[in-house]
C-alpha cells in the first residue's frame, strides 16, 4: 500500500479537476496532481515531469538532480572500492579509529 | 525503469556492503549486542527481504522491523467494525486490497464479501469516489487506512467529494500518524535500537523536521531512505558513519523524492480534513495518545462513524499470537509458536502475516520457516 511507482506525466486530462494522465512503464492512468502542481504556473508545465505515483495521486516530483547527486556519491564509494580492498588485505587495525 | 534500475546496481551494492562490513567491524568493538537498526516502514521490511539484504550483511547488523505496516497494526475489532459497515445492505465498502484478508474476530472482509456483502477492492480512494458517482442510490464507504503516506490521498478525495457535493460518499477513518508512535517506542525502558531507517514516503509528505526529537532527545540517528536495495544499503552506511563519529542526526538519503519541508499541498489538505483523536488503539502496541485521526467538524458529513452506528468492537488478539512483541522488535517472528504452522499467509491468524509489508509474511515468504527451530 505504501510503495509508490515512478511515472511521467504525459497529458493534462482535466485542468479544472486537477487531473492528468501519467505513463508508468507503458501503462496509462489518470492521477490527481494537486500535490505536485505549482500555484504560479499553468498545469501544462507538468507535462514531461517525473512523479512518484501513489494510490492514484502524484505525490512528489522526482528530482532528477538529486537522483544524480545520490548516484554520484555512490559512484565514489564504488571508486573507493579498490582502495578499501587493499586495506582489507591488511589488518583491520590499520584503519583509522573513530575514537 | 527510470529511477529504479540505477538503484539496483549490483556493483554498487557490493561496494556498499564492503564499506558496511569494515565500519561495523570497527563499531563492534566493546559492544555486547549486535548493531540494531529499525526500519520503521513495512515497505522497507519487504524490500530488505525481497533483496535478501540481511544475508548479504555482516551478522553483527540486525534489522528490527518496525510498526510501519498499517494493516499489521490494525486491531481485530476494527476489522469487525469494517465488516459490520460492509454488511449493511445499502453499503458498498471500498478498500485497498491489503485489508481484504486481515482476520476479524468473526471474519475478514473477503469472507464477508463471499457471504454477500458488497466489498470492492480499489486501487485509489478516487476509485471509491467514482463508485459513489456511479451508484447514487448506494452508500459508498471508503476504508481510510495508512500513515501519512495515504492520509493526503484520502483527505484530497474528501475535499473533492465536498466540492462536487457527492452525498453518498463517506470515509471510515483509521489513519494513523508515525511520530507519536516512534516516541512511544523510544520511551520504552529497554528499547535497544541504535538507529532508524526512516520511512521514505511518509517523509515525502511530512518532511524531515518532525524527526528531530529522535536525535535531540533520544540520541539516535535516523536516515530517511528510498526503497531500492542501494537506497537501503546507503542509508545503513550513513547510520553507521554517524555512530562511528559519535553523532545523532536526521539525514535524508531519499532526496530525489523527499523534500526537507515535505509536501505543502498534502499537509494543507491533511490539516483541513483531519484532527487528532485523543487516543487510538494499535494491535500489539496498545493505545497511543494522539496517534490516530478522525475527520474535522466541517467534513463530518463524510465521516462514516457519524453516518452509521459503528459498533467500535474491542477484541483481544488470539492468545497464541506474539504479534505485539514482533511489532516492537522484542522477538523475531520465528519465536512465535504459531508462525508457519497455525498462522500462514494463506490462513493468517495475525495481521503481520497478511500484508506483504508485514514482518511475518516477509520471513515466511523469503526466509521460510527454517528459523523456527532456532
Picking from A60, A71, A78, the nearest residue to B6 by CB comes out as A71
Q: Are residues B164 and B189 part of one domain?
A: no
pLDDT in tens, chain B (374 residues): 788 888 998 889 999 999 999 999 999 888 888 999 999 999 999 899 989 998 999 999 999 988 888 888 888 899 999 999 999 999 999 999 989 988 899 999 999 999 999 999 999 999 999 999 999 999 999 999 999 999 999 999 999 999 999 999 999 999 999 999 999 989 988 888 999 999 999 999 999 999 999 999 999 999 999 999 999 999 999 999 999 999 999 999 999 999 999 999 999 999 999 999 999 998 878 899 999 999 999 999 999 999 998 888 888 888 888 888 887 778 889 999 999 999 998 888 887 888 878 889 988 988 755 454 44
Number of domains in chain B: 2
- Class of the A5-89 domain? mainly beta
Contact A23, A8 (CB under 8 A): yes
Residue B81 lies in a domain: yes
- ipTM associated with this complex: 0.90
Taking CB atoms and an 8 Å cutoff, what residues of chain B touch A56? 123-127, 153
Burial category of B249 from C-beta neighbours within 10 Å (exposed 0-12, middle 13-18, buried 19 and up): middle
Query: Using 50, 70 and 90 to split pLDDT, how confident is the model at A2?
Result: low
- Give which of B244, B265, B272 to mutate to test A binding, by max A Cβ within 10 Å: B265
Residue B131 lies in a domain: yes
The residue behind cell 480499489 is B122
Whether residue A67 and residue B98 make contact (CB cut-off 8 A), yes or no, is no
| Residue ranges of chain A whose CB lies within 8 Å of a chain B CB | 1-4, 6, 8, 17, 25, 32, 34-37, 50, 52, 54-57, 59-60, 62-64, 66-67, 69-71, 73-75, 77-78, 80-81, 84-85, 87-88, 92, 95, 97-99
Picking from B7, B26, B204, the nearest residue to A98 by CB comes out as B26
Picking from A37, A69, A74, the nearest residue to B230 by CB comes out as A74
CATH number of the domain residue B121 falls in: 3.40.50.11740
Question: CA-to-CA distance for B357 and B227, rounded, in angstroms?
Answer: 12
Q: Are residues B302 and B212 part of one domain?
A: no
Contact B253, B225 (CB under 8 A): yes
Distance from the Cα of B373 to chain A's closest Cα (Å) equals 32
Between CA B75 and CA B85, with CA B79 as vertex, the angle to 5 degrees is 140
Q: Are residues B170 and B41 part of one domain?
A: no
Residue B146 lies in a domain: yes
Question: CA-to-CA distance for B337 and B327, rounded, in angstroms?
Answer: 15
Q: Are residues B83 and B229 part of one domain?
A: no
pLDDT(A95) > 60: no
Which residue does chain A place closest to B11, by CA atoms?
A78
Q: Are residues B241 and B225 part of one domain?
A: yes
Question: CA-to-CA distance for B83 and B88, rounded, in angstroms?
Answer: 9
Residue B87 lies in a domain: yes
Contact B374, B334 (CB under 8 A): yes
Question: CA-to-CA distance for A16 and B169, rounded, in angstroms?
Answer: 21
Which residue does chain A place closest to B263, by CA atoms?
A35
Q: Are residues B357 and B216 part of one domain?
A: yes
| pLDDT tens, residue by residue, A21-68 | 999 888 899 999 999 999 889 999 999 999 999 999 999 999 989 988
Question: CA-to-CA distance for B156 and A58, rounded, in angstroms?
Answer: 12
Residue B265 lies in a domain: no
Strand partners, B227: none
Picking from A2, A50, A95, the nearest residue to B2 by CB comes out as A50
Give the number of A-B residue pairs with CB atoms closer than 8 Å: 150
Residue B190 lies in a domain: yes
| pLDDT tens, residue by residue, A50-62 | 999 999 999 999 9
pLDDT(A89) > 80: no
Residue B279 lies in a domain: no
| pLDDT tens, residue by residue, A69-87 | 888 887 777 665 555 554 4
Q: Are residues B170 and B55 part of one domain?
A: no
Strand partners, A22: A9, A29
Question: Quick check: helix, strand or coil at residue B30?
Answer: coil
Question: CA-to-CA distance for B58 and B329, rounded, in angstroms?
Answer: 19
pLDDT(A94) > 60: no
For residue B212, count other CB atoms closer than 10 A to its CB. 12
Q: Are residues B64 and B38 part of one domain?
A: yes
Taking CB atoms and an 8 Å cutoff, what residues of chain B touch A74? 9, 12, 15-16, 230, 234
pLDDT(A98) > 70: no
Closest CA to B151 of B55, B244, B62, B273: B273
What the block records as the C-alpha cell of B292 is: 490516530
Q: Are residues B324 and B238 part of one domain?
A: yes
CATH number of the domain residue B63 falls in: 3.40.50.11750
Contact B66, B330 (CB under 8 A): no
Q: Are residues B217 and B142 part of one domain?
A: no
Q: Which domain holds residue B158?
A: 76-176+292-307
Residue B85 lies in a domain: yes
Q: Are residues B196 and B63 part of one domain?
A: yes
Picking from B18, B253, B265, the nearest residue to A84 by CB comes out as B18
Closest CA to A37 of B156, B255, B274: B156
Q: Are residues B242 and B111 part of one domain?
A: no
Q: Report pLDDT for A3.
A: 75
- Give which of A14, A36, A55 to mutate to test B binding, by max B Cβ within 10 Å: A55
Which of B284, B307, B330 finishes a domain? B307
Picking from B3, B19, B146, the nearest residue to A84 by CB comes out as B19
Amino acid at each position: 500500500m505504501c510503495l509508490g511507482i515512478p511515472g511521467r506525466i504525459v497529458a493534462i486530462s482535466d485542468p479544472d479537476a486537477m487531473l492528468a494522465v501519467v505513463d508508468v512503464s507503458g501503462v496509462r492512468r489518470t492521477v490527481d496532481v494537486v500535490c505536485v502542481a505549482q500555484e504560479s504556473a499553468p498545469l501544462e508545465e507538468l507535462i514531461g515531469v517525473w512523479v512518484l505515483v501513489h494510490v492514484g495521486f502524484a505525490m512528489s516530483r522526482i528530482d532528477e538532480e538529486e537522483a544524480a547527486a545520490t548516484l554520484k556519491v555512490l559512484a565514489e564509494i564504488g571508486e573507493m572500492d579498490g582502495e578499501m580492498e587493499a586495506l582489507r588485505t591488511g589488518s583491520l587495525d590499520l584503519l583509522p579509529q573513530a575514537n | 525503469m527510470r529511477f529504479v534500475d540505477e538503484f539496483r546496481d549490483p556493483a554498487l551494492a557490493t561496494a556498499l556492503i564492503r564499506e558496511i562490513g569494515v565500519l561495523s567491524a570497527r563499531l563492534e568493538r566493546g559492544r555486547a549486542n549486535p548493531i540494531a537498526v529499525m526500519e520503521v516502514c513495512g515497505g522497507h521490511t519487504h524490500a530488505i527481504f525481497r533483496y535478501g539484504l540481511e544475508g548479504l550483511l555482516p551478522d553483527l547488523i540486525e534489522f528490527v522491523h518496525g510498526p510501519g505496516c498499517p494493516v499489521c497494526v490494525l486491531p481485530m475489532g476494527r476489522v469487525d467494525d469494517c465488516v459490520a459497515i460492509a454488511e449493511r445492505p445499502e453499503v458498498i465498502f471500498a478498500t485497498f486490497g491489503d485489508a481484504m484478508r486481515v482476520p476479524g474476530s468473526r471474519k475478514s472482509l473477503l469472507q464477508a464479501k463471499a457471504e454477500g456483502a458488497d466489498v470492492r477492492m480499489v486501487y485509489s480512494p478516487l476509485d471509491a469516489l467514482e463508485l459513489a458517482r456511479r451508484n447514487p442510490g448506494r452508500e459508498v464507504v471508503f476504508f481510510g487506512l495508512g500513515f501519512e503516506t495515504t492520509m493526503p490521498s484520502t483527505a484530497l478525495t474528501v475535499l473533492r467529494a465536498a466540492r462536487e457535493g457527492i452525498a453518498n460518499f463517506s470515509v471510515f477513518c483509521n489513519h494513523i500518524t508515525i511520530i507519536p508512535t516512534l516516541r512511544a517506542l523510544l520511551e520504552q525502558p529497554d528499547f535497544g535500537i541504535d538507529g532508524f531507517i526512516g520511512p521514505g514516503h511518509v517523509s515525502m509528505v511530512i518532511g524531515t523536521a518532525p524527526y528531530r526529537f529522535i536525535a535531540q532527545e533520544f540520541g539516535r540517528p535516523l536516515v530517511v531512505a528510498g526503497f531500492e536495495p542501494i537506497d537501503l544499503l546507503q542509508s545503513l552506511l550513513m547510520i553507521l558513519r554517524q555512530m562511528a563519529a559519535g553523532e545523532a542526526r536526521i539525514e535524508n538519503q531519499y532526496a530525489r523524492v523527499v523534500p526537507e519541508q515535505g509536501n505543502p499541498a498534502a499537509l494543507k489538505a491533511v490539516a483541513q480534513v483531519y484532527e487528532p483523536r485523543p487516543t487510538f488503539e494499535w494491535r500489539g502496541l496498545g493505545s497511543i495518545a494522539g496517534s490516530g485521526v478522525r475527520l474535522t467538524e466541517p467534513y463530518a458529513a463524510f465521516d462514516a462513524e457519524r453516518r452509521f452506528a459503528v459498533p467500535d468492537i474491542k477484541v483481544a488478539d488470539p492468545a497464541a499470537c506474539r504479534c505485539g512483541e514482533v511489532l516492537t522488535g522484542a522477538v523475531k517472528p520465528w519465536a512465535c509458536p504459531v508462525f508457519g504452522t497455525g498462522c500462514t499467509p494463506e490462513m493468517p491468524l495475525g495481521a503481520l502475516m497478511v500484508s506483504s509489508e508485514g514482518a511475518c509474511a516477509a520471513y515466511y515468504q523469503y526466509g521460510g520457516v527454517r528459523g523456527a527451530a532456532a
